Amino acid sequence: MKEEQKPSSTVAFWMEEIETYESRFRDWEDRSKKIVKRYKNERKSAEKNKSQFNILWSNIQTLHPAIYANPPTPNIDRRFQDDDDLGRYAALVLERAVSYYVKNDMFDKVMKQSTLDRLLPGRGVVWVRYCPVFEEAPQITDDEENKDYDMDMPENLLSEDVIPDYVHWGDFGHTWARTWQEVRGVWRRVCLTRAELVKRFGQEKGNLVPLDAVINDANGSKVSSGKKAYIYEIWDKAKKKAIWIHKSVPDVLDELDDPLRLKDFFPCPEPIYATIANDDLIPTPDYVQYQDQAIELDMITGRITAIAKAVKVAGVYDASAEGIDRLLTEGVENRLIPVQQWAVLGGGKGLPGAVSFFPLAEILQTLQGLYQVREQVKNDLYEITGISDIVRGATNASETATAQQIKGQFATLRLDNNQKDVARFSKDLVVIMTEIIAKHFSLDTIKAVSGVKLMTMMEKQQIQAQMMQAQQMGQEAPLPDKMQDLMKLPTWEEVEQLIRDDTARCFRIDIETDSTIKTDQDNEKQSRIEFLGAVSSFMQQAINVPPQLQPLAMELLLFGVRGFKVSRELETSFESAMAKIQKEQDQPKQPQPSPEEIKAQAEMQRTQADMQMAQQQHESQMAQIQAKAQADYQKGQIELQIKQADERLKSLDLQIKNLDVAAKQAQVIQKQQEVVV
């Protein structure tokens, strides 16, 4: 009988860590499943006919867009805002590159999924992957064994991508710790099919993994799917290793040394937590804090529904008084109904004596009281959650605008911590993606994604060599303005060297993001108007500043501009414009001429103008003389040609006459010969 293989020390260690986590977090996971069911309004068969007030769904729909509405905008810039072109363009390259991956639907989707997990079970997680795509190496056949192949040659890189993955709250885990800083390892559970296992771990190990992943049916019962396997991807911070294991496989499926070389090692930022203390990292979902009030709301809603069903017109009447039932069962308008035995009905105090209705006053009073109690419970619940009327969009017409503004500010204060936590989470996510781009992306990919126009060192050297060659040959070869600007900027090699260096990049470049909360357009517009007004007013006053104080005025202007958040995009333009003004001021100025010099210069200019006019008149006269002489010459040539033509005509006439005489003589000779014959 084959002995069962024992797991290796690495697999055994992490299996124990995973089991410890699962045992400690089991209660939280069970409670989270119930909360998710309540949010989705999933009920058991016995509860489907009960009326409930799903305040959880209402609160989540209100809070979710309040803490996250838009993906962040990466803001990567020089840390100290000094005159550093290399740092500026390195920051610009990284900002544009990471913005390409942040401003897409995938990033926004995983952020919404993780923030929803934060609001329901109380923890949201995102995992970042670096995905290069290489060209497949050619297969070597038997008849090609003797060919000279370079097996050490790297595969051709086709594309690169950095992908944020949403991790379900039940598929994430970490070593036991009181705070996130104490966590030694994190893992996520991934379901893979047989084909995916073979592709990821090879034929031998991929077929060794059993397909024992389980899923839950509609009733919550676990059933074996038989199609996938749970693989644990573990990142060990202490050993700087990433390993892949399966609980039923004794050996490690794969192991890599620090795959991403990130500053904080983990490929995921610190999760977004709900309520946690400093003794453990088990979050308390928000719903737990007001579940008693939510249960009370369900109970009151159920009573209201039951009593509302009883609010109907019902009663009894005297069966001997025929026709009375037709008053309620028929649509009777402007018509009298005949009643038999009217004498009996009249003697019995008329219609009130023959009919008795079910009392509704007490029921309606009870129903109204229940509605009031439910409103009070809702107010208590909103007091606990901090969801004010302003946040829910409700308002009171009698309240002043100031009162509503104060309530809105109070609501913002209550939500401020949650908003800051989401902003911190998104920033950490952007930092990890930026690190991956800086350390692993090829320079060609960075060029294509960022779209920044810079030159390589070789291109600069070629242009400089061409300029030197032109100067040696005595030729002028001025560069276009755009080319001159590019020659002054850093090269791609310098930018790459800076972004690859962790220490230099951290010292010179700061990575931030703007708010993930939906901005108030009115406040944004007001900020822009205030900024334009302040800058315009200062520049009008700075015109009259003495020249020796103008550098100070420029620094004061930049100091004021940096105080406005809306001016961040224009700050570089301000610096460039001020540098140009300063350069013009630093150039030596020509001394102002005296009045006598101005008068002498004017006289000289007038004399030069007179001389130019006389010269122009002389040139005009000479041109006329030359034109007349040319015309006369051409006329003489024409007359000569005419005379020559007349002489040729006379010569032709003489020749014709001679020909006529010769012809007559020939005729005479011919006649004489005829006579002789």
pLDDT digits (tens, 9 = 90+) for 89-145: 888 889 899 999 998 889 999 999 999 999 999 999 999 999 998 876 555 444 444
Query: What tokens appear for 581 in the block?
Result: 């003004």
pLDDT at 183: 95
575 lies in some domain: no
Residue 150 has pLDDT above 50, yes or no: no
pLDDT at 616: 83
Most confident of 171-175, 247-251, 542-546, 626-630: 171-175
Domain end among 497, 518, 539? 518
- Tell me how far apart the alpha carbons of residues 3 and 505 are, in angstroms, rounded to a whole number: 54
Q: Which residues share a beta bridge with 161? A: 131
> Average per-residue pLDDT in the chain?
78
pLDDT in tens, 241-285: 999 999 989 999 999 999 999 999 999 999 999 999 888 999 999
**Same-domain status, 511 and 634:** no
For 250, the 3-state DSSP assignment is: coil
Higher-pLDDT residue of 44 and 147 is 44
Model confidence at 146, pLDDT cuts 50, 70, 90, reads: very low
Count the neighbouring beta carbons within 10 Å of the beta carbon of residue 443: 15
**Same-domain status, 513 and 617:** no
pLDDT at 313: 66
**Same-domain status, 165 and 275:** yes
For 373, the 3-state DSSP assignment is: helix
Place of tokens 């540098």: 579
pLDDT at 147: 42
For 147, the 3-state DSSP assignment is: coil
User: What value does the mean pLDDT take over residues 369-375?
Assistant: 81
Place of tokens 């060659």: 469
- Tell me how far apart the alpha carbons of residues 233 and 246 are, in angstroms, rounded to a whole number: 9
User: What value does the mean pLDDT take over residues 51-80?
Assistant: 84
* Contact residues for 222 (Cβ-Cβ < 8 A; gap 6+): 214, 215, 216
Please state the separation of Cα 622 from the chain's center in Å: 76
Higher-pLDDT residue of 196 and 87 is 196
Higher-pLDDT residue of 269 and 51 is 269
Which candidate, 75, 77, 73, 72, places its Cα nearest to that of 91?
77
**Same-domain status, 166 and 289:** yes
pLDDT at 2: 45
Model confidence at 153, pLDDT cuts 50, 70, 90, reads: very low
**Same-domain status, 509 and 606:** no
% of the chain beyond a pLDDT of 70? 70
- Tell me how far apart the alpha carbons of residues 477 and 299 are, in angstroms, rounded to a whole number: 88
- Which H helix or E strand runs over 26? helix 9-40
**Lowest mean per-residue pLDDT among 394-398, 427-431, 439-443, 630-634:** 394-398
* 387 DSSP assignment: -
What's the helix, strand, coil split of the chain in %, to 5? 60, 10, 30
**Same-domain status, 15 and 115:** yes
pLDDT at 389: 46
**Same-domain status, 167 and 311:** yes
% of the chain beyond a pLDDT of 90? 25
Residue 204 has pLDDT above 70, yes or no: yes
Which candidate, 389, 421, 392, places its Cα nearest to that of 403?
389
82 lies in some domain: yes
324 lies in some domain: yes
User: What value does the mean pLDDT take over residues 543-568?
Assistant: 64
Q: Are 275 and 122 in contact (CB under 8 A)?
A: yes
Higher-pLDDT residue of 478 and 575 is 478
Which candidate, 244, 110, 197, places its Cα nearest to that of 516?
110
Q: Residue 593: exposed, middle, or buried by beta-carbon count in 10 A (0-12, 13-18, 19+)?
A: exposed
**Lowest mean per-residue pLDDT among 17-26, 138-147, 410-419:** 138-147
Domain end among 518, 535, 555? 518
106 lies in some domain: yes
For 309, the 3-state DSSP assignment is: helix
Which DSSP string do the residues of 500-563 spell out, in sequence order?
H-HHHHHHHEEEEE---SPP-HHHHHHHHHHHHHHHHHHHHHHTTS-GGGHHHHHHHHHHHHTT
417 lies in some domain: yes
User: What value does the mean pLDDT take over residues 383-388?
Assistant: 71
**Same-domain status, 505 and 634:** no
Residue 192 has pLDDT above 50, yes or no: yes
pLDDT at 141: 47
pLDDT in tens, 485-512: 778 888 889 888 888 888 777 767 777 7
Which candidate, 222, 228, 174, places its Cα nearest to that of 14?
174
Amino acid in the structure at residue 529: I
Please state the separation of Cα 109 from the chain's center in Å: 11
Helices (H) and strands (E) in the chain, counts: 22, 14
Residue 529 has pLDDT above 90, yes or no: no
User: What value does the mean pLDDT take over residues 287-293?
Assistant: 87
pLDDT at 464: 82
- Tell me how far apart the alpha carbons of residues 268 and 188 are, in angstroms, rounded to a whole number: 10
Q: What are phi and psi of 57, to 5 degrees?
A: -60, -45
Q: What are phi and psi of 509, to 5 degrees?
A: -125, 135
**Same-domain status, 306 and 439:** yes
| Alpha carbons within 13 A on the beta-carbon side of 111 | 27
Model confidence at 66, pLDDT cuts 50, 70, 90, reads: confident
Residue 593 has pLDDT above 80, yes or no: no
Whole-angstrom CA distances from 441 to 97, 157, 162, 437 are: 10, 10, 9, 5
Model confidence at 668, pLDDT cuts 50, 70, 90, reads: confident
**Same-domain status, 617 and 514:** no
Residue 530 has pLDDT above 60, yes or no: yes
User: What value does the mean pLDDT take over residues 185-195?
Assistant: 93
239 lies in some domain: no
Number of structural domains (the chain) is 2
- Tell me how far apart the alpha carbons of residues 93 and 438 are, in angstroms, rounded to a whole number: 10
pLDDT at 390: 42
For 487, the 3-state DSSP assignment is: helix
Residue 229 has pLDDT above 80, yes or no: yes
* Contact residues for 453 (Cβ-Cβ < 8 A; gap 6+): 486
**Same-domain status, 23 and 128:** yes
- Tell me how far apart the alpha carbons of residues 441 and 131 are, in angstroms, rounded to a whole number: 10
- Tell me how far apart the alpha carbons of residues 228 and 195 are, in angstroms, rounded to a whole number: 10
**Lowest mean per-residue pLDDT among 84-93, 314-323, 519-528:** 519-528
Burial 375-401 (b: 16+ CB within 10 A, else e): eebbeebbeebebbbbbeeeeeeeeee
pTM flag (> 0.85): no
For 244, the 3-state DSSP assignment is: strand
**Same-domain status, 501 and 632:** no
Strands 172-174 and 355-357: unpaired
- Which H helix or E strand runs over 198? helix 194-208
255 lies in some domain: no
pLDDT at 545: 67
Domain end among 475, 497, 518? 518
Domain that holds residue 661: 601-677
Q: Which residues share a beta bridge with 222? A: 216
